[in-house]
Amino acid sequence: MTLKDPICAIATPLGKGAIGVVRLSGEGALEVASRVWRGKDPRKLKGGRFTLGEVVDPETGEVLDQALLLVFRAPRSYTGEDACEFHTHGSMAVLRRVLEALVKAGARLAGPGEFTFRAYMNGKLDLAQAEAVLALVEAEGDLARRQALRSLEGSFSRKIAALEDRLLSLLAHIQALLDYPEEGVEPLEARRVIGEVLEEVEALLAQARSSRLAQRGARLALIGAPNAGKSSLLNALLGYERALVSPIPGTTRDYLEAPLELFGIPLVAVDTAGIRDTLDPLERAGVERALRIAEEADLVLYVADRSAPRPSLPPLPPRTLKAATKADLPPLWEDAEFIPVSSVTGEGLGQLKEAIREAFLGRGEGEYLLSERQIEALHQARERLLEAKNLPEDLMGLALEEALKALASLRGRKEVSEEVVARVFQNFCVGK
């Protein structure tokens, strides 16, 4: 994967789109392009310019599509190499032929993540930024998008670089003290510096939870007695009529899942059968499922009808919010633990959503989207820093160096093995 040979790939989704993009990058990319292009010679085009022309099969001359060609000249491209993009019509029929033409003209099909790998190798991105590219491509909610973008734009890397810098100065200072004890090198404030770096590392580690939430999402289960208004509340949260609603208790039998993005968190909301004792075997199976789903959910929303006699609570897991539905009708009971909501008027929905946000992101939403690799490296740094802090100053050096290595591995370059880099890029898709 360290070659500079021209590689090509379809960069847009493999489906139908108004426009599709085929990427080409590497030494000689513009020669390859010139063999499949009828129009202005790509080798003579300025970087950063589009031109309209035709893609042709280099063997038969058959015209494959009318397209725009965008040329980049090294080092001013995503990969840092000579590169170009064919913006064609977006069908697989077109894209496949264009890709085939590029292979006939001398390019090789790119492997997963190979464009971004080259960008990394050519110093366009560091490893944390490359991981952010992956996270942006995979983002399923606005929270993941926001967090990953900050890392892509280098804010995370700059923060890490600053911490590395502090440790490096500290190490230099310790070394000077050891080497020239008689020179009157100023006394160290090693423990204070370590403490401050540690604090920042711990603040980053505290974002692990919200990173995982942003990437993996969470399950929100609605449970309660029959007719409590669970399905109506699900529909109200979704903003469309997903679940069947009726005044007949026992309407929802099987459970039902629907994607629901709240505050940028990709949730799956699960509507369940009303919980009651019943002899109907089908309904009973539904009730059993409901209880299991509640147990496995990340957050349970227990729903009770405030216009009906108060039901007795089923066993509820610790992560449970309570909502009193039908707040538009005269209440038969009050309980401050329940958030009053009406699916008919929309009253209380805002408070309910806010309570859901608080349950998931109570300690803040986190600035960056941390990958598992980054979380692991931060843990390593934290442990070594704690170790250093408890050692006498002349023995701190080794632990500090290890902490520094762990931090430096976040940005990559010399501090990570090829294996680690390969693992980062193996999660990418072809064309990225």
Phi-psi region of 423 (alpha: psi -120 to 50; beta: other; left: phi over 0): alpha
- Site size toward ligand FFO (CB under 6 A) is 9
The entry of ligand FFO, ligand GTP, Mg ion, none that residue 15 binds, CB within 5 to 8 Å by partner kind: none
Residue 207, binding choice from ligand GTP, ligand FFO, Mg ion, none, Cβ under 5 to 8 Å by partner class: none
Q: Which does 154 bind (CB under 5 to 8 A by kind): Mg ion, ligand GTP, ligand FFO, none?
A: none
* The binder of ligand GTP chosen from 226, 264, 340, 431 (CB under 6 A): 226
Is 230 part of any known ligand binding site?
Answer: yes
Site for Mg ion in 240-259 (CB under 5 A): 251-252
User: Using the rule CB under 6 A, is 123 a contact of ligand FFO?
Assistant: no
| Residue 371 annotated in ligand binding | no
Please report, as residue ranges, which positions from 59 to 88 form the binding site for ligand FFO (by CB under 6 A). 72, 75-78, 85
Known binder of ligand: residue 235? no
- What residue type is 246 in one-letter code? S
Give the residue ranges of DSSP H helices in 139-260.
142-152, 155-179, 190-205, 208-216, 230-238
The candidate with the shortest Cα–Cα distance to 125, out of 139, 140, 135, is 135
Return the C-alpha torsion angle 411, 413, 418, 420, nearest 10: -10
| φ, ψ dihedrals at 313, nearest 5° | -75, 135
426 binding partner (options Mg ion, ligand FFO, ligand GTP, none; Cβ < 5 to 8 Å by kind) = none
The answer to the question of whether 39 is labelled as a binding residue is no
Half-sphere exposure of 182 (CA within 13 A, CB side): 0
Q: Is 328 in the site for ligand GTP (CB under 6 A)?
A: yes
Q: CA 31, CA 37: separation in Å to the nearest integer?
A: 10
Confirm or reject binding of residue 48 to ligand FFO (CB under 6 A).
Answer: yes
Interface positions, 13-42, toward ligand FFO (CB under 6 A): 21
Closer by beta carbon to ligand FFO, 70 or else 381 = 70
Contacts of 176 (CB under 8 A, 6+ apart): 183, 185
Interface characters, 399-428, with ligand GTP (x: CB under 6 A): ------------------------------
Q: Is 25 annotated as a binding residue?
A: no
DSSP symbol at 43: G
Q: Minimum CB separation from ligand FFO for residue 125, in Å? A: 9
Q: How are beta strands 63-72 and 37-38 bridged, if at all?
A: unpaired
Choose between 148 and 297: whose C-beta lies nearer to ligand GTP: 297
DSSP string, 288-329: HHHHHHHHH-SEEEEEEETTSPPPPPPP--SSEEEEEE-TTS
Query: Nearest Cα to 260, choosing from 142, 99, 343?
Result: 142
Confirm whether residue 228 is marked as ligand binding: yes
Among ligand FFO, ligand GTP, Mg ion, none, residue 48 binds (CB under 5-8 Å by kind): ligand FFO
Which letter, b or e, does each residue of 230-244 get, where b requires 16 or more Cβ atoms within 10 Å of its Cβ? Answer: bbbbbbbbeeeebbe
Distance CA 200, CA 276 (A): 50
Of the candidate residues 151, 211, 252, 374, the single one contacting ligand GTP (CB under 6 A) = 252
Distance CA 426, CA 423 (A): 5
CB of 164 to ligand FFO, least distance (A): 24
Give the Cβ contact number of residue 305 at 10 Å. 22
Based on CB atoms, which residue is closest to ligand FFO, 369 or 404?
A: 369
* 231 touching Mg ion, by CB under 5 A: yes
**Residues of the binding site:** 23, 85, 124, 227-232, 246-252, 271-274, 432
**Residues of the binding site for GTP:** 227-232, 246-252, 271-274
Point out which residues bind ligand FFO (CB under 6 A). Answer: 21, 48, 72, 75-78, 85, 124
